[in-house]
Amino acid sequence: MSKDCDSTMDRLSLYLDRELSEPEMRQVRVHLDDCPPCGKIFDFQAELKRLVRKECCTDDAPTRLREWVRKLAAQDPIQP
Amino acid sequence: MSGDFSGFEQHVDALYRSALRLTRKPEDAQDLVQETYLRAFRYRNRFTPGTNEKAWLFTIMTNAFRNRGRQHRVIEEPIDEPANDHYIYDQLRREGLPLHLMSPEQVIVDRGFGDEVKRALEDLPLPMRMVVVLVDVEEFSYKEVAAILGIKIGTVMSRLHRGRRALQKRLWDYAERPRSSRVAVGSS
């Protein structure tokens, strides 16, 4: 584990969530490309994040609820 | 002004799937989304057009949800910061798998980590669950999540960190259980 690995691991979640500044994003990206062990950890984290989103996005609102919201929006009475 | 509310319709799926993770029950989720839209409708004049309407709706929804839960207050779990949040990777490595030769997608599919994501998420303590849902599913920024939940960014980060690790640990434990018992638990 080099110093670069340590600092990459500290910032891995921030990198994954795109919460770093552009120069820092670049720094981490360069290290991940250069260092297979760190790159692998990132790949797993990224894949797991994708998985959570994918699994949860299968639940769409029921048609009845959707219709109810549409009606509510349609009856918007604010007309000056 | 009056046309603005119709733009809120498009977030109904996002609100519903998140409400489902929070309440765990379809009928409660539907109820919470209706309450959210009714409040949004009532206060629509306070919304500034052109700002983030999805974040505004989620702020209303998480507040409504927390007001409901007031009678059984959530106790924050003791804070023991785990060293890292890549629990699954560490466990796989401990098994001595040649991870450098394997694609994460394949390992994740083969080990069945995807099978019980929703349940694992719904098992998380609420403060962590809210943050993981808002960041990982709804893709809000840390700053937006902090504003939605009325907490500090540092708190967002620490809940996310602990939440992701706890989620991975649950996914690992579920996937490790023999198939037969998983089916029995899942169908109850």
**Is pLDDT at B165 greater than 50 in this prediction?**
yes
How confident is the model at residue B79, as a pLDDT? Answer: 58
Name the closest residue on chain B to residue A11, using Cα atoms: B84
Using a CB–CB cutoff of 8 Å, tell me whether A19 touches chain B: yes
Q: Which of B86-100, B111-125, B142-156 has maximum average pLDDT?
A: B142-156
- Shortest Cα distance from A19 to chain B (angstroms)? 7
Backbone angle region of B36, left / alpha / beta, with phi > 0 → left and psi within -120 to 50 → alpha: alpha
Q: What is the DSSP letter of B141?
A: -
- Shortest Cα distance from B78 to chain A (angstroms)? 22
**Is pLDDT at B2 greater than 70 in this prediction?**
no
How confident is the model at residue B98, as a pLDDT? Answer: 86
How confident is the model at residue B74, as a pLDDT? Answer: 54
How confident is the model at residue B182, as a pLDDT? Answer: 53
ipTM value of the model?
Answer: 0.90
- Shortest Cα distance from A32 to chain B (angstroms)? 13
**Band (A65; pLDDT cuts 50, 70, 90):** very high
Name the closest residue on chain A to residue B142, using Cα atoms: A19
Please return the burial class of B149, using the count of CB atoms within 10 Å of its CB with bins 0-12, 13-18 and 19+. buried
- Shortest Cα distance from A79 to chain B (angstroms)? 6
Using a CB–CB cutoff of 8 Å, tell me whether A41 touches chain B: yes
How confident is the model at residue B13, as a pLDDT? Answer: 96
Q: Which of B41-55, B95-109, B158-172 has maximum average pLDDT?
A: B158-172
**Band (B48; pLDDT cuts 50, 70, 90):** confident
How confident is the model at residue B187, as a pLDDT? Answer: 43
Residue type, A48: L
B21 closest CB neighbour out of A56, A60, A66: A56
**Band (A1; pLDDT cuts 50, 70, 90):** low
* Radius of gyration, CA atoms only, chain B: 19
Using a CB–CB cutoff of 8 Å, tell me whether B100 touches chain A: yes
Chain B residues with CB-CB distance to A79 below 8 A? 2
The model scores a pTM over 0.80: yes
How long is chain A? 80
Contact A41 B86 (CB under 8 A): yes
**Band (B176; pLDDT cuts 50, 70, 90):** confident
Residue A53: CB atoms within 10 A of its CB come to 16
Contact A46 B104 (CB under 8 A): yes
Look at residue B85 and give its three-state secondary structure.
Answer: coil
Contact A44 B86 (CB under 8 A): yes
Angstrom distance (rounded) from CA B188 to CA B184: 7
Chain A residues with CB-CB distance to B37 below 8 A? 68-69, 72
Closest alpha carbon to B58 in B80, B38, B33: B33
Average pLDDT (B95-120) is 88
Give yes or no for a contact between B99 and A47, defined as CB atoms under 8 angstroms apart.
no
